[in-house]
Amino acid sequence: MPQIIETSGHIAGVDEAGRGPLAGPVIAAAVILDVANSIEGLADSKVLSASRREELAALIKDRALCWALGRAEVEEIDRLNILRASLLAMKRAVATLSLSPELALVDGNQAPELVCAVRTVVRGDATVPAISAASILAKVARDAEMDELDKRFPGYGFSRHKGYPTSAHLLSLEKLGVSSIHRRSFAPVRRLLG
């Protein structure tokens, strides 16, 4: 059931994609929806098909008041840890919005440091439309990037598993070794590096 949040100013929904993979960046999105131009079908990106996510991402970009992406690179993930890197990506996404939100609603139970008020919402990607929209944009952007990285790093299967630790990915890691886009701080990769 969608949550209703009362405020007189703009509300940004914020979410990230890519905390669990062994490779690639973590990408966050921030979205301020237009309450007068609603989008049907917003949901947690993980329950939507890839084609439906693409359709909704196009609608979000067209109908939202504004949206922005932020990211943290593999080197930052390894230096900071994945939680802090995810919060940094969220901070960068919100800072890039063309409108300043009064409130940011962030999926989960950890909040980035922002210049506006912040509220965390556990399972917000399934219950708060603006967070659902951010979830979709982040996932679509990251999946597209992993498809591109699949061309630059053939053999790992990034376009199939998007960097997640599937058995096929782990096998290719053992066979091909650790690439420059693998997260060295993640246990399966760290083990291979000895």
Adjacent-strand bridge partners of 27: 17, 71
pLDDT of residue 175: 97
Q: How many CA atoms lie within 13 A of 70 on its CB side?
A: 23
pLDDT of residue 1: 45
Question: Could you tell me the residue ranges of all domains in the chain?
Answer: 11-193
SS (H, E, C) the chain: CCCCCCCCCCEEEEEEECCCCCECCEEEEEEECCCCCCCCCCCCHHHCCHHHHHHHHHHHHHHCCEEEEEEECHHHHHHHCHHHHHHHHHHHHHHHCCCCCCEEEEECCCCCCCCCEEEEECCHHHHCHHHHHHHHHHHHHHHHHHHHHHHHCCCCCHHHHCCCCCHHHHHHHHHHCCCCCECCCCHHHHHHHC
For every one of its 194 residues, what pLDDT tens digit does the chain have, with 9 covering 90 and above?
A: 445 455 568 999 999 999 999 999 999 999 999 999 999 999 999 999 999 999 999 999 999 999 999 999 999 999 999 999 999 999 999 999 999 999 999 999 999 999 999 999 999 999 999 999 999 999 999 999 999 999 999 999 999 999 999 999 999 999 999 999 999 999 999 999 98
pTM of the model: 0.94
pLDDT of residue 194: 83
Pairing of strands 26-32, 103-107: unpaired
Q: Give the position of tokens 């509300």.
A: 11
Phi–psi pair at 53, nearest 5 degrees: -60, -45
Distance CA(97)–CA(153), nearest Å, equals 32
Fold entry, domain 11-193: Nucleotidyltransferase; domain 5 (3.30.420)
Distance CA(161)–CA(70), nearest Å, equals 22
